Structure formats: C-alpha cells, structure tokens
Amino acid sequence: MQTMRRRAVAAAVAGAMLVGGAIGATAFSASSSNAASTTTTTPAASGYAANGGAPNGAPAGKFRPNEASAHEAGESKAREAQEDAGQVPTVP
C-alpha cells in the first residue's frame, strides 16, 4: 500500500507541474491578447524627431554655441565653423 501512495503522489506532482507549465507558458507567451497595442509606428527618417530636425533626445529650439574662451581654446576649426553657421556640431 505504501508504494501505491508514493506513485499517486508522484503522479499528482507531475500533473501539477505539467498544468503549471502550461499555465505559465500561456500567461507569458507573446500573444496579441496581452500586447499593449496592435498599431505600429515608424521612426522618423534617419533618427530625427519631429521637433524641428533635432536628433532624438536633443532639446528643440535654436542652437546657441558656447562662446566661452575656455571652451573655444580646445575646439577644432571644423567645429567652430559649424557653430558659426548655426549648426549643431557633429565633429569634435
């Protein structure tokens, strides 16, 4: 009788594991029923947002270069030319 009880408990544990695995797989699957939305959005061309052409995460508005003498001393001529043209510098 002792072996019959062990087999019954082992079968119950195995069944519970199978049912639990099935429920877990259903709950965490990538189905459309638990998706946040079904619409997709495409990013703006070449990583630029709709905030006036500024890169994503950059503040919108007019670019104001840093004209402090300490900053200007370590700046390359290419970067200074971009700043003078009113462009956001892309070179170091």
Q: Does residue 18 register a pLDDT over 60? A: yes
The whole-angstrom separation of Cα 37 and Cα 47 is 23
Answer whether 17's CB lies under 8 Å from 26's CB. Answer: no
pLDDT band at residue 23, thresholds of 50, 70 and 90?
Answer: confident
Q: Does residue 75 register a pLDDT over 80? A: yes
In this prediction the pTM is 0.33
Tokens 């009788």, located at residue: 1
